[in-house]
Amino acid sequence: RKMAACALLALLALPKPSSFAVTRRAFVHAGASAVALGAPAARAVSGGGKDFSGATISGGDFSGQSLRGKEFRQVVALGTNFRGADLRGCSFFKADLTGADFTGALMSGVSLEGANLDRAVFKDAQLDGAFFTDSITAAADISGADFSEALIPPRTVALLCARADADGKNRATSVTTRESLACAE
């Protein structure tokens, strides 16, 4: 517990990128979740584990699997099936996820920074607290996705809100996509 508290204090000292809207609630939620899940300090910050980093898993079927906290950094996962998978806390940093299917996946706290999301499907995915760059705008389907507390550049949120598929209610959380993105009515 002492290590987790130290990790949170260290995170508070980090500079916050000016291009991201980080709410106090989102930051506290992320840190508290990591501690509540019993994550060691290093895992709470980085996601921990090497697992799939740098691998080519294109066309793979990970549907319904528990891959919680696994590393998918710089993987090539073209058309990979992650439907209904538990991916909470995973890192997909700079991964090529072209055409990957994340329908109904649990993706709380996932890092998708710098990932290629061209034609990726996030229908009904739980993306609360996830970290995105502007590549999310290339996704094929975000209907029913729950982006609550996600860290998304403000200009990207505006583009997502303008999409026709920024609708629907997440089947698990009952939160609408537009509500989770805080889109203007």
Cα-to-chain-centroid distance, residue 160: 15
Q: What is the pLDDT of residue 185?
A: 75
Binned at pLDDT 50, 70 and 90, residue 148 comes out as very high
Tens of pLDDT, residue by residue over 163-182, are 999 999 999 999 999 999 99
Domain residue spans in the chain? 1-46, 49-185
Let me know: does 102 contact 126? Beta carbons within 8 Å.
no
Residue 41: predicted pLDDT: 35
pLDDT tens-digit series, residues 2-59: 333 343 334 444 444 444 444 333 433 444 444 444 443 333 334 444 589 999 999 9
Q: How many residues does the structure list for the chain?
A: 185
129: left (phi over 0), alpha (psi -120 to 50) or beta: left
Is residue 101 a contact partner of residue 80, using CB atoms and an 8 Å limit?
yes
What are φ and ψ of residue 139, in 5° steps?
Answer: -65, 150
Q: What is the mean pLDDT of the chain?
A: 82
Q: What digits encode the pLDDT tens for the residues 136-146?
A: 999 999 999 99
Average pLDDT rounded to a whole number, residues 65-79: 97
Query: CATH topology for 49-185?
Result: Pectate Lyase C-like (2.160.20)
- Dihedral angle at the C-alpha atoms of 35, 37, 40, 44, nearest 10 degrees? -70
